[in-house]
Amino acid sequence: MQFLDNYPTTEDMSGAWCNSSAATSSIMEAVSFVTPVLENFFIRTVSEGLDKARNSELDQRCLAFIHEESGHSRAHKRFNQSLTGYLGGLPPGLTLVEKLLDIARNRLSLPKRLLIASALEHFAAVLSKSYLNEQQRLEMHCDFARELFLRHAEEEIAHRSVVFDLWLSKRTSGRFWRIATMMAILLTGFFYLSIAVPWILHHKLGCRLSATLSALTGFVFGSGRDMQAYLPLTELFWFTRRDFHPDRLVDESLPAK
Ligand SMILES: [Fe+2]
Ligand SMILES: [Fe+2]
């Protein structure tokens, strides 16, 4: 992602830059806003979990992971800056996600935080896999955004097992905690998107309430197939299986670790 450091981000993002749809563009923007917040949690949790003195193969992978996630955060922050320019601020709901992660950081043990990070990384890998499968159908009128989302998805798929393996090396939790974590992520994600997306969309449509409501209704009732394609719940819940390993997300023929 380092090459994006010098990539220009001067394009006007206030319109429908993705698929000529203001709603789809708003979802992409909401995802971009929350990305550095989540990645900060991953980076801090993994740095705590790795043993720099031991320097094992897993520790090397963790260091590479931290490097990649820092690159993603940097690129998304640059992109987000160009969004706050027209939005005039950050979307509501973001503070809640930050607060919840702060609570997790301060109150939960390292293995539990690694469980949350592993589940979120699985979430990211599932979304990235769907994104890569569907990206030919996406038309983006912003070169920086196209490169950013594409490269990010590729790197998420490539490093999808790192946090999981680190979690395995500490201790794993039973099925109950895996299911509870996945449900908490889904609920928080749904809540965040339900607030952030309409807010962004409202700004894109000149703060006209009727236009926002009609665009939202059109999107919800017209994009059922898209929702299923981008968020395959079955794959998300693979994480709750006892024999699950993220390697299998891309190649189901691999044996469970
Ligand atoms: Fe990332
Ligand atoms: Fe990641």
Mean pLDDT in runs of 10 for the chain (257 residues)?
Answer: 67 90 95 98 96 84 96 95 93 96 96 96 94 88 92 96 94 85 95 96 95 90 67 87 89 47
pLDDT value at position 257?
A: 40
Of all ligands present, the nearest one to the C-alpha of 118 is: 2
How far, in Å, from the CA of 209 to the mean position of ligand 1? 34
pLDDT value at position 3?
A: 57
Burial grade of 161 (CB within 10 A; 0-12, 13-18, 19 or more): buried
Phi/psi of residue 140, nearest 5 degrees = -110, 125
Query: Which alpha helices (H) appear in 88-109, and where do they start and end?
Result: 94-107
Of all ligands present, the nearest one to the C-alpha of 246 is: 2
pLDDT value at position 253?
A: 46
pLDDT value at position 221?
A: 81
How far, in Å, from the CA of 92 to the mean position of ligand 2? 24
pLDDT value at position 219?
A: 86
Three-state secondary structure call for residue 63: helix
Tokens 């919800």 belong to 220
pLDDT value at position 248?
A: 86
pLDDT value at position 249?
A: 87
